[in-house]
Amino acid sequence: MAMQCCTALESHKAKPPSVAAVSKLTNTPLKTLLANLISINNGFGLANASLSFLGDHLFAICEGDLPYAVRLTSNGDTDTKTLGRHDFDVNGEKQIDVHIAMAGRHPLFMHDFAITKKHTVSVDTQLHMYYTEMILRGDSLLHSDPTKASRIGVIPRCAKDSLQMRWFDVPGFNNIHAINEWDEEDGNVIILAPNILSIEQAFGKTELVPCLMEKVRIDLRTGIVSRHPISARNLDMGNTRSGGVAANTEADEDNGYVVSYVHDEKTGESKFLVTDAKSPHLDIEAAVKLTQRVPTGSHGLFVREVELRKLYNCKYPIT
């Protein structure tokens, strides 16, 4: 049995702005902050970018601010309760920070990165952020540099300094999200990601942006990068994340199912799909028609039942 609930997360409310202040602003975080619409001490993130299950707790997260802890309540229908903004123990043990210096006048736009068992993989795309131009002239924050060649950076997860970062040229490769990534037995690093073919249109009507799903293989011994097209469908922006379910606890990594929600804009019909992870085209094993639409989004999270049950009893503050 499946149950869907839709509820708002209670992040810190913004200070009510004056009409004059609102009329002079565009909807940008920096201008909102300068207009004193929010208190940075209480947090400014809406926590609406994604969800993460960590240490038996569920967090609603956003870029640039602390996450909010969330737990489930059960009052006839399953619902969520916002526990509060959460900061992790700054005195706890952690791996040393490795700062990667990036050349260029404008900071690059790096929205997502990939993590394998041994490596962290980042993509230096053609997109850059132009803060000064946005503030002074009202220009768009993001611009592309057609003269720049994109790069993929690979660094060991246990790296001690930035000298262990290796860069590989991948001209024309511009991804916003990574779909999957792994290490091969021969030492190659694989990243599966949608490549935005028209980077200038990346933040227009995202469902119309041409994308090519690519499988990128990086040979760390020879430095050779090979790219293989997987699908020409737009499988990035505007889609919920998929989840994997193993056939059993001892099954191989790809011996199981890929599950996801899909919505047909023409018919208005939503379905929950179960597909065969081993099949080359993700053959559909089961399709469950939904009575209502599941809202689409760039990020999402599938949580196992055993993890879900822990969320009913989690405490706050988190210790």
- H-helix or E-strand spanning residue 168: strand 166-169
Tokens of 75: 């009052």
| Cα 87 to Cα 54: distance, rounded to the nearest angstrom | 13
The verdict on whether residue 111 carries a ligand-binding annotation is: yes
| Cα 32 to Cα 63: distance, rounded to the nearest angstrom | 16
DSSP symbol at 292: S
CA–centroid distance for 294 within its chain:
18
Burial class (CB in 10 A: 0-12, 13-18, 19+), 292: exposed
Tokens of 106: 């404008």
Verify cis geometry, omega within 30 degrees of 0, for the bond prior to 156. Answer: no
CA–centroid distance for 312 within its chain:
25
Verify cis geometry, omega within 30 degrees of 0, for the bond prior to 317. Answer: yes
> In Å, how far are 109, 172, 308 from 238, measured between CA atoms?
19, 22, 25
Burial class (CB in 10 A: 0-12, 13-18, 19+), 59: buried
| Cα 224 to Cα 214: distance, rounded to the nearest angstrom | 16
The verdict on whether residue 177 carries a ligand-binding annotation is: yes
Annotated binding site for Fe cation: 111, 177
Annotated binding site: 111, 177
